[in-house]
Amino acid sequence: MRSFRLLAVTVLAVILALSSMQNAYAISVSVNPRCGAPGTFVTLTVVGPWVTFTVSTWGSGWPEPLPIGCTDIGCGFTVPPGATGGVRFTATDGSGSSASATFTVDCPAVGGVVEPAKKLAIFAPYLALFGIVAIVAVVFWKRPDN
């Protein structure tokens, strides 16, 4: 009975190990930062057993091929002056799975509108607190003597 339990635990451990290794070699591509102005150094990271690597650009001002090199900062490239649009990096492994990352020139604005502060909205909590303190003070001050 003991050997059966040991065999069952061993089989379960092997199955668990094999199932967790399924995505151990997943391919991923990332750029940091994801957007920026010309002159920005963009770090490129590719993880996994990639077979093919393609670089596609859109806009204007990008050299062909894009010079990707390594410095003390890391591997990547510097956005050339006058570049517009962006760059897309795609890595594909032997099974056909692919991952990609995109860098765009000039980060899009988040948006929003600046409005002047509404003084009543700012002071309303303090006015309410002052009113409550005043009411409590009047109740205790006007308390009838027993």
Residue 31 lies in a domain: yes
Number of domains in the chain: 1
Asked if residue 2 is part of any domain, the answer here is no
Q: Is 78 a member of any domain?
A: yes
Provide the whole-model pTM.
Answer: 0.55
Q: State residue 141's pLDDT score.
A: 80
pLDDT band (50, 70, 90) for residue 116: confident
Rounded mean pLDDT, 15-37: 69
Q: In this predicted structure, what is the pLDDT of residue 22? A: 47
Residue 118 placed within a domain:
no
Q: The domain spanning residue 81 has which CATH number?
A: 2.60.40
Give the tens place of pLDDT for each residue, 68-100: 887 665 688 889 998 889 999 888 887 788 888
Structural domain contains residue 62: yes
Instruction: Name the residue range of residue 79's domain.
Output: 27-105
Answer for the pair 142, 70: CB distance below 8 angstroms, yes or no. Answer: no
Domain-located, residue 73: yes
Residue 49 to residue 91: CA distance in whole angstroms: 9
92 within domain boundaries: yes
